[in-house]
Amino acid sequence: MKTAEIARRFLAFFENNGHTVVPSASLVAEDPTLLLVNAGMVPFKPYFLGERTAPYDRAATAQKCVRTVDIDEVGKTARHASFFQMLGNFSFGDYFKERAIPLAWQLVTDPVEEGGFGFDPEKLWVTVYTEDGEAEAIWRDQVGVPPERIQRRGMADNFWSMGVAGPCGPDSEIYYDRGPEYGREGGPDADEDRYIELWNLVFMQWERGPKGDTDILGDLPRKNIDTGMGLERMAAILQGVDNIYETDTLGAILHRAAELTGTAYGDAEETDVSLRVVADHVRTATMLVSDGVKPGNEKRGYVLRRILRRTVRNLRLLSGDDSFYLHELTRTAINAMGEIYSELETNAEMIHSVIDAEEKNFADTLRSGTSLFQRAAERTRAAGSTVFSGADAFQLHDTYGFPIDLTLEMAREQGLSVDEDTFQSLMQRQRDAAKRDAEAKKLGNADPGVYSKLLEGAGTTEFLGYTDHESESRVLGLLVEGQSVPAAREGQQVELVLNRTPFYAESGGQLADKGTIAVDGRGVVDVEDVQRPVADLSVHRGTVRSGEVALDDRVHAAIDSQRREAVSRSHSATHLIHSALRNALGPSAGQAGSENQPGKLRFDFTANKALGTTELAEVEDEVNTVLSGDVQVRDFTTSLDEALSMGALAMFGEKYGDQVRVVEMSDYSRELCGGTHVGATGQLGVVKLLGESSVGSGVRRVEAAVGIDAFRRLSKESLLVGQLSEQLKTPREELPERIDAMVARLRNAEKEVERLRAEQVLQAAGQLAHSARECGPARLVTHRAQDGTTADDLRKLALDVRGRLGTDQPVVICVTAVANGRPLVVVAVNKAAQEHALKAGELVGIAARALGGGGGGKPDVAQGGGSDPEAVDTAMRAVERHVADTQ
């Protein structure tokens, strides 16, 4: 039975039994404490915690999930996976054990021709929580499972909680016996390799306190059901294969990877591990990109980048070459998963664009990272150590995207270990900082549950800002330092929830409104930011300027209208730029982010190469042509299907409801958008593109000024051009040629100066060779070159002097210079010196440490540097002492 058919059959069964089929939520979690959805129940968590009322009593889903805690274990076993799908049925205070257990048994054991999965009841075992006699009785007396195939297990195996105070309860699991060839008799208690878990039924019946699972406070007022059936595991059993990597979806990717790299699955464990990593990670990356995640250096983007780079690394281990395979493997993943998730086909061009660009970018990283690793390894050996610095490993990983597993492997090849404790400590520090930053913006000082309770108690905030800049409102919620308070006084930082507001909450790239909330005759709050920490709840953050504000106060809310109008102009400009870019580059130029500020904007879009000056000029010209036509800007609400059929663009990865707002500018631009806009394009005045740059793999950015800001920018540039024209005595239109000629002459002059300086440095070689003196077992030359001498010239000088002194006896050359305020040192030794244990890398390390820095290189020549130019002579003396002390 194919994976897609298993999911379809599961959902159809529960729909026929009164459940609402809820489409899979995006992998991008709404819960601000999570980066990604990591369990099937996550989208329903607010309902289980009582923060929101579920819109249905029963639900069933096939939920996409990603877990990255065990990412390093992926591939090493046949069961670990970073992406998986969880089938589940849920009851929110409707039915409980007496209904959930028979439903599960019916679906699992009903014949295939009747819509079930057709399992032989004689091969099924059940586990229950050791104190849950109620569940055991239902399995035994109502369903008919023999008592000898029901096993009681403790809290570690059959008890569930969210890990925080809230709902908890026992669970019951269904296991399938694969037969004696897989292990010992005796049920799940005896061997969980032979007896495989099919389904976990969680019975939320108690409330847990903050101390742990044993801190049971009492019964929940409404008992809930949360079940989870792993789709991949079920597919492995129903398809008669030993593990999830041999199922139809993952197997298709794995075998295509083997075909492309000229390997075979099952031939060698090392090869199998890499093929499993590739299969899992390609599928995970495809699903993440489809849900709008882009590779980056933090949060979800970092997860995606790490997954893709592990994939490339393993592909190169398999193939032994630098070929690009991800485009073909991504196509295979889209085909394999498209039957369940049709949006993969819709987003295919975008997915390919992002993943292809990251693969190419990482190829460059591997080249540069290998060079950086080599230099760091040489410094390690030069310092007499066999432990590669954890700080160096972190820098390679964090700054250059070099995978830690690659650093570990390369270190082992060179006889080095890696200080993994320091590396992990630095990684954890970075994760903690990123998590704090992510939560701070949306949550301020409050726990997320506080906002959910406000929403539950006060209801949604009505937004009036499309038509009104002021409103009479009422204070429904008041927070100070994350805690609900009855009133706030002058000078306090406060968060207010109003029943209705003209303030736009930051969303869709548009910055929040600023303004004031005034209590008649009693106080004023300066609003500095507005956020939606939970859906449909606007939280106004600011400072009580004077007086006080209290719950239930009637207030007058007013936004800064001039600022709003400037932001609206910028937002409308992003829509025009988006259309112009698509016209120039094709439909693959999709929006990848934006920020609309007063008078300026940035717009991120997907593209595999930079835009040339001519292309930028054409985009700018097209946008301003539309402005001059004064096209009317219209917005309206319609169904999502109707909007898409009209050609409205949806932001890639964004989540939309059944009803959406469409903003259109004639036929030129039509997008789904919740932001504020101008009434006609002529109100933008002028749009000036300020430049284009890269912000990540496959993502480019244009920045622009709008309206009066654009005019001022143009005016300033015109004045600057006029001044250049006057100073160079050249007409404006001839300035580019004149400046090109001046720059060319300057570069030629700099090259000549550099040549003369290099010649001057090398002219000293003969005299330096004559100055060689006996020092220990070697002839030694130490020399400080003139300031400004480059490291390359120092190296040439050292090698020249070494060559003049011959090979008959040991020779050590140590030359230094100060360039741009930083000291440099180069050490060269001949083979005879090396035989006396005088290694260039070790000597340069001695000198570099005296300079307050580091260095390394080969045994015959090495270079380094430092931060203290006053220590140059000290560094040379340190080298001399070491040579003198050598026997």
CA-to-CA distance for 330 and 336, rounded, in angstroms? 10
Q: What is the DSSP string of 33-87?
A: T-SB--STTGGGHHHHTTSS--S-SEEEEEEEEE--TTGGGBTTBSS--SEEEEE
- Which value, in Å, is the radius of gyration of the alpha carbons in the chain? 34
Asked if 274 and 300 count as a contact pair (C-beta separation under 8 A), the reply is no
760 three-class SS = helix
Q: Residues 162-184, buried b or exposed e (16+ Cβ, 10 A)?
A: beebbbbbbbbbbbbbbeeeeee
Q: Enumerate the β-bridge partners of residue 659.
A: 639
Q: Known binder of ligand: residue 673?
A: yes
HSE, CB side, 13 Å, CA atoms: give it for residue 582. Answer: 17
Quick one: tokens of 340? 């369940």
CA-to-CA distance for 419 and 397, rounded, in angstroms? 14
Asked if 844 and 863 count as a contact pair (C-beta separation under 8 A), the reply is yes
CA-to-CA distance for 676 and 671, rounded, in angstroms? 13
Q: Is the dihedral of CA 769, 771, 774, 776 positive or negative?
A: negative
Q: Known binder of ligand: residue 677?
A: yes
Asked if 334 and 353 count as a contact pair (C-beta separation under 8 A), the reply is no
In the 8-state DSSP scheme, what is residue 873? H
Asked if 641 and 632 count as a contact pair (C-beta separation under 8 A), the reply is no
Q: Known binder of ligand: residue 255?
A: no
333 three-class SS = helix
List helix spans (H) across 629-687.
640-645
689 three-class SS = strand
C-alpha distance from residue 590 to each of 19, 296, 455 (Å): 37, 17, 34
Q: Known binder of ligand: residue 575?
A: yes
C-alpha distance from residue 433 to each of 299, 429, 430, 437, 438 (Å): 11, 6, 5, 6, 9
Quick one: tokens of 433? 């900082």
Angle between helices 404-413 and 390-398 (to 10 degrees): 130
Asked if 503 and 540 count as a contact pair (C-beta separation under 8 A), the reply is yes
CA-to-CA distance for 395 and 426, rounded, in angstroms? 10
Angle between helices 269-290 and 248-261 (to 10 degrees): 120
Query: In this structure, are strands 493-498 and 470-480 parallel, antiparallel, or unpaired?
Result: antiparallel
List helix spans (H) across 414-491.
420-443, 448-458
Nearest Cα to 663, choosing from 689, 694, 632?
632
Provide CB contacts within 8 A for 613, sequence distance 6+. none
CA-to-CA distance for 114 and 106, rounded, in angstroms? 10
Asked if 86 and 229 count as a contact pair (C-beta separation under 8 A), the reply is yes
CA-to-CA distance for 1 and 10, rounded, in angstroms? 12
560 three-class SS = coil
CB count within 10 Å of CB 415 equals 9
Exposed, middle or buried, 636 (CB in 10 Å: 0-12/13-18/19+)?
Answer: exposed
Provide CB contacts within 8 A for 711, sequence distance 6+. 685, 686
HSE, CB side, 13 Å, CA atoms: give it for residue 440. Answer: 6
CA-to-CA distance for 538 and 774, rounded, in angstroms? 81
Binding site per annotation, positions for Zn(2+): 571, 575, 673, 677
Residues making up the annotated binding site are 571, 575, 673, 677
